[in-house]
Amino acid sequence: MTELSKIRNFSIVAHIDHGKSTLADRLIQETGTVAGRDMKAQLLDSMDIERERGITIKANTVRIDYTADDGQNYVLNLIDTPGHVDFAYEVSRSMRAVEGSLLVVDSSQGVEAQTLANVYHAMEADHEIVPILNKIDLPASDCDRVAEQIEDVIGIEATGAIQVSAKTGQGIHETLEAIVTDLPAPTGTRDAPLKAMLVDSWYDSYLGVIVLVRIIDGELKKGMRVKFMSNDTLHSVDRIGVFRPEMETIDVLGPGEIGFLTASIKQVRDTRVGDTITNDRQGCETALDGFKPAQPVVFCGLFPVDSAEFEDLRGAIDKLALNDASFTFEMETSAALGFGFRCGFLGLLHLEVVRDRIEREYNIDLITTAPSVVYHVYMRDGTMVELHNPADMPDLTHVDHLEEPRIKATILVPDEYLGDVLKLCQDRRGLQMDLTYAGSRAMAVYDLPLNEVVFDFYDRLKSVTKGYASFDYQMTDYREDNLVKMSILVNDEPVDALSMMVHRDRADARGRAMVEKLKDLIPRHMFKIPIQAAIGGKVIARETLSALRKDVTAKCYGGDASRKRKLLDKQKKGKKKMRQFGKVDIPQEAFISALKMDS
């Protein structure tokens, strides 16, 4: 049992690529937590895709024993959090499990958008923050400028920031001393009823669901019956332990400690991040505040390219859902693409990660339909329906109005690209909320509709700023706007997979772009094919794909013109009949290309 005064719980917050995981590696190495021969880069990132993309997707934890300069032995619990905006909820929960943060800023690049977002999470959780300037071994490093920037932009005292090179190991000892001296010890009562916070959970094929917990009050022992308060389920604890970073079982976890428990839980869905765990009998009275289930915000259809692989896809999605509680799915069918799933994600990176994992780990080629967001449709009779798929839009005569999700976007950009960024946000129906400067960089805060962002906003932003802009967003609210469903008709048949929600002012341009694109993508048939974009019964754009035709008058030499006329009329009748009964085959490549919207 460790005394409360000898425990320090902390997380590392930073923008992507500022060196969180490398700093964690050095802290583990410096304290001898892992033997030298077992050490590898990004030790805490266990998934292939995390190592390949160089990002952290799941929060990971490690327990470090450290003997300080004053001769005392301390237990340090480190949580390495994801830096990406899609996993912000997981980050905010991990923050509530610890008392302090190391704020890592790249001393050559300075403060970025996600540095801000994550620091605000830490401040909301009342953290003590220790600023660290990383990558001081780089020739472009400028510690004074970045320290000044931290003070200007974030408002934290940074004159005494620790200068570190996580690559070479310089400044690591000073960092460990700062953790012990500057960060507060946790508080908690050993004799109170058990109150523990569920920080994260993942699925293990041997042990079932492993639950990462932070004990607030009381003790967690093996064999205890515990209750998960959000869904009132009861479980019997099989084993308890800590990560060093390999699992190590122990008998009891006391207040202030972070560890794991397993209790033969079958599905990650039953363990919700941020939930409170307590005794079955003498439980705590109130749950920890701030728990909310993760809400998917972006939806898209996943279909196998080869429809025979549908069952394999179902198996793959079931297995992924075991490990990812924020990923939702239901079956759907489409006339063009066959059977597939309508899936919900926390954001575009989450969508990409899930799609890459299905393609890589289960060898299934996927078609992803255009991503859409959740709209609130208010009916005339006063009810509200959530619309996940534009194809399911109810009849407009019953609809009173539509509301769409809005976000607050923070963009940090060097000022020579500011004009392009403001124009891009204006084009995407953004409302400027704030514009400030920190040195030579501008910080623009915009209120944007989420459906304009999920298409290709991030790619466009990167291209207009040559990759120098950093972007971060959070959901704010739903607001009414003039939105309509645009259907695409090919040969007078609506194509479900291509219908989308657009703003009425943009509908004409979007529709024209779509039909022009499809005209190039659909192969010609023996009859002419009209391709139309329509809103309700009104066609707003049309292209006609001309027919392939045989020259029926080739055999006529001279003679009466009525002979030729007769043959051409006969051909025309045939084409008309063909068009009536003919079916247009839209190849799969055409769908994939049409869904990749260019601006």
Per-residue pLDDT of 144-192, as tens digits, reads 888 888 888 777 887 778 888 878 888 888 888 888 888 888 888 888 8
Do 508 and 529 touch, CB atoms closer than 8 A? no
Residue 45, pLDDT score: 46
Which pLDDT does position 323 carry in this prediction? 66
**Lowest-confidence segment of 115-119, 186-190, 222-226, 538-542 by average pLDDT:** 115-119
Give rounded-to-5 percent helix, strand, coil for the chain: 30, 35, 35
**pTM exceeds 0.85:** no
Q: Yes or no: say if 96 and 197 are a contact pair by the CB < 8 Å rule.
A: yes
Structure-block tokens of residue 389: 């798929």
Domain architecture of the chain: domains with CATH: 4-182 (3.40.50.300), 195-279 (2.40.30.10), 298-369 (3.30.70.870), 396-481 (3.30.70.240), 485-595 (3.30.70.2570)
Question: CA distances (Å), 422 to each of 437, 477, 503, in order?
Answer: 14, 22, 20
Summarize the confidence of residues 510-531 as an average pLDDT: 84
- pLDDT exceeds 80 at position 376: yes
Q: H/E element holding 329? A: strand 328-334
pLDDT at 59 over 70: no
Work out the mean pLDDT of the chain and round it to a whole number: 80
Question: In percent, how much of the chain has pLDDT > 90?
Answer: 1
Q: What angle do CA 114, 115, 119 make, to 5 degrees?
A: 110
Which range, 125-134, 151-160, 265-274, has the best average confidence (pLDDT)? 125-134
Asked if 221 and 190 touch (Cβ cutoff 8 Å), the reply is no
User: Per mean pLDDT, which of 11-15, 136-140, 461-465, 530-534 is the most reliable?
Assistant: 530-534
Which SS3 state, helix, strand or coil, does residue 482 take? coil
Residue set of the binding site = 17-22, 134-137
Of the pLDDT bands very low, low, confident and very high (cuts 50, 70, 90), residue 598 is: very low
Classify residue 32 as left (phi > 0), alpha (psi -120 to 50) or beta. Answer: left
Q: Would you state the pLDDT for residue 355?
A: 84
Is the confidence at residue 40, as pLDDT, over 70? no
pLDDT at 46 over 80: no
Using the predicted structure, report yes or no on whether residue 84 has a pLDDT greater than 70. Answer: no
What pLDDT shows up at residue 3? 80
Mean pLDDT for the stretch of residues 119-147 = 84
pLDDT bin (cut points 50, 70, 90) of residue 599 is very low
Annotated binding site for GTP: 17-22, 134-137
Rounded CA-CA distance 270/263 in Å is 12
The residue whose two tokens read 């590392």 is: 12
Q: Which of 87-96, 389-398, 437-446, 448-457 has the lowest mean pLDDT?
A: 87-96
Query: Is the model's pLDDT at 19 over the cut of 50?
Result: yes
Q: Output the pLDDT for position 50.
A: 47
Strand order in the sheet with 7-13: 60-67, 73-80, 7-13, 100-106, 128-134, 162-163
Angle between helix 450-464 and 418-427 (nearest 10): 160
Compute the distance between CA of residue 93 and CA of residue 95 in angstroms, rounded to an integer: 5
- The pLDDT tens digits of the residues spanning 203-257 come to 777 888 888 888 888 888 888 888 888 777 888 888 888 888 778 888 888 888 8
User: For the chain, how long is the longest CA-to-CA vector?
Assistant: 114
Instruction: Please compute Rg for the chain using Cα positions.
Output: 29
% the chain with pLDDT above 70: 87
Q: What pLDDT score does 18 carry?
A: 75
Cβ partners under 8 Å of residue 48, min gap 6: 360
Going by their DSSP bridges, the two strands 100-106 and 73-80 should be labelled as: unpaired
Q: What is the pLDDT of residue 595?
A: 61
Which two structure tokens, joined as six digits, stand for 157?
């005292």
pLDDT value for 413 = 83
β-pair type (375-379, 399-414) = antiparallel
Cβ 288 vs Cβ 319: under 8 Å:
no
Distance CA 574, CA 538 (A): 29
Tally: H helices and E strands in the chain = 13, 32
Alpha-carbon separation of residue 363 from 313, 366, 393 (angstroms): 9, 9, 34
Pick 533 or 82 by higher pLDDT. 533
Q: Tell me, what's the pLDDT at 83? A: 57
Cα dist from 43 to 18, 24, 206, 351, 529, whole Å: 16, 8, 22, 25, 57
Which residues 6+ apart lie within 8 Å of 335 measured at CB? Answer: 495, 496
Higher-pLDDT residue of 387, 42 = 387
pLDDT in tens, 439-467: 677 888 999 888 888 766 777 887 888 77
Strand partners for 432: 446
